């Protein structure tokens, strides 16, 4: 087996693009394409389906990519051991997150401890971040969702209660707390259906047999906040992700306990990498009361 051809395949499979993979390997796109084509021809197989300007893996390609991920993860780990990079004077870490509030303090402290390291931060929904983590596009993730997947190493980072937030002019703003049934007469402004905050809240509504007056769906936290401030309805948010805003007031639920937990997650077989260990150490330091492995 030609190692250059296998590495070329892995680069394209990991990035979903010949152009991006060629830049990562510092070769021309025609060179990369010819290496992948030679690998396919030597075995009489097809590893990719071309779709527009990108590519998707065939079933066989996906199986091979699982192998190459393990192969190059082990190679990277071996390189770290042999290069004695314990001082972390050089290197880079790729971080993914589903929101800025929890990850930014970790990144800031990590950068303070290791100023010479490069950090990239990619934001997206939890499903996409987990997919990027499993496919080694990022090294570590901070997000409010962690599957029971034996391939993942999971640290609970911070638990926060969900609260209702309303405009200051809203009648509910005069209260210190609300009951879950109080939202039955309200117009709700909620995130997309994949949002874990929304799933937890709607599960509590269903358990109590409550249906809000109406629901408006908005895709971003910032837009939900502005819609509530404009008087279009009321919203639900993790208390730790609510920034102070004079236009709005938060209200805890007095009769239900709604909580959401943020996790720091990496691939189990990459946890021993020194740079990933350093990130986990920072998260452990910043977690309230410390964290426990899940």
CATH number at residue 30: 1.10.10.10
- Show which of 50, 82, 114 is a domain's final residue: 82
For residues 254 and 190, membership in a common domain is answered with yes
DSSP 235-249: EEEEGGG----TTEE
Which pLDDT score is estimated for 292?
A: 46
87 found inside a domain: yes
For residues 185 and 248, the answer to whether their CB atoms sit within 8 Å is: no
Q: How far is residue 185 from each of residues 83, 171, 225, 231, 234, measured CA to CA in Å?
A: 63, 12, 19, 14, 11
For residues 52 and 91, membership in a common domain is answered with no
pTM of the entire structure?
0.67
For residues 152 and 266, membership in a common domain is answered with yes
Q: What is the DSSP letter of 127?
A: H
Question: Which residues, including other chains, have CB under 8 Å from residue 129's CB and lie 6 or more apart?
Answer: 96, 97, 98, 122, 138, 141, 143
Show the tokens assigned to 97: 């997150």
119 found inside a domain: yes
For residues 147 and 278, membership in a common domain is answered with yes
- pLDDT tens, per residue, the chain with 294 residues: 789 999 999 999 999 899 999 999 999 999 999 999 999 999 999 999 988 778 999 999 999 999 999 998 888 877 766 664 556 777 889 999 988 999 999 999 999 999 989 999 999 888 899 999 998 899 999 999 887 889 999 999 999 999 999 999 999 999 999 999 999 999 999 998 888 899 999 999 999 999 998 899 998 889 999 999 999 999 999 998 898 899 999 999 999 999 999 999 999 988 888 899 999 999 999 988 654 444
| Residue numbers of the domain that contains 67 | 3-82
For residues 168 and 237, membership in a common domain is answered with yes
Q: How far is residue 128 from each of residues 122, 137, 234, 246, measured CA to CA in Å?
A: 10, 11, 28, 33
- Show which of 82, 98, 121 is a domain's final residue: 82
293 found inside a domain: no
Distance of CA 104 to the CA centre of its chain: 13
294 found inside a domain: no
Rounded Cα distance, 218 and 221, in Å: 8
For residues 183 and 219, membership in a common domain is answered with yes
Show the tokens assigned to 226: 């502005």
Rounded Cα distance, 293 and 288, in Å: 14
Structural domain total, the chain: 3
For residues 99 and 224, the answer to whether their CB atoms sit within 8 Å is: no
Q: Which residues pair with 162 in a beta bridge?
A: 238
- Show which of 55, 82, 109 is a domain's final residue: 82
For residues 176 and 239, membership in a common domain is answered with yes
216 found inside a domain: yes
Q: Which residues pair with 106 in a beta bridge?
A: none
178 found inside a domain: yes
Which pLDDT score is estimated for 87?
A: 64
For residues 74 and 209, membership in a common domain is answered with no
292 found inside a domain: no
């Amino acid at each position: 087996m030609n190692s250059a051809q296998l590495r070329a395949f892995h680069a394209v499979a990991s990035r979903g693009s010949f152009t991006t993979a060629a830049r990562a390997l510092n070769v021309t796109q025609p060179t990369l394409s010819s290496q992948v084509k030679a690998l396919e021809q030597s075995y009489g197989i097809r590893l990719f389906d071309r779709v527009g300007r990108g590519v998707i893996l065939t079933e066989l390609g996906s199986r091979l990519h699982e192998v190459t991920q393990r192969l190059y993860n082990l190679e990277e780990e071996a390189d770290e051991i042999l290069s004695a990079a314990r001082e972390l004077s050089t290197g880079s870490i790729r971080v993914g997150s589903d929101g800025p509030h929890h990850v930014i303090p970790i990144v800031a402290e990590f950068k303070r401890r290791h100023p010479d390291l490069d950090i990239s931060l990619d934001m997206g929904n939890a499903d996409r971040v987990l997919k990027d983590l499993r496919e080694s596009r990022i090294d570590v993730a901070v997000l409010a969702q962690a599957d029971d997947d034996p391939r993942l190493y999971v640290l609970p980072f911070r638990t926060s209660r969900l609260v209702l937030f309303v405009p200051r002019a809203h009648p509910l703003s005069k209260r210190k707390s609300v009951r879950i049934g109080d939202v039955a007469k309200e117009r709700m402004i909620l995130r997309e259906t994949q949002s874990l905050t929304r799933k937890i809240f709607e599960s509590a509504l269903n358990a109590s047999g409550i249906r809000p007056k109406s629901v408006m769906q908005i895709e971003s936290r910032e837009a939900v906040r502005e819609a509530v401030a404009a008087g279009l309805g009321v919203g639900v948010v993790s208390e730790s992700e609510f920034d102070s805003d004079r236009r709005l007031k938060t209200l805890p639920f007095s009769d239900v306990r709604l909580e959401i937990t943020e996790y720091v997650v990496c691939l189990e077989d990459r946890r021993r990498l020194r740079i990933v260990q350093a990130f986990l150490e920072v998260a452990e330091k910043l977690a309230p009361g410390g964290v426990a492995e899940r």
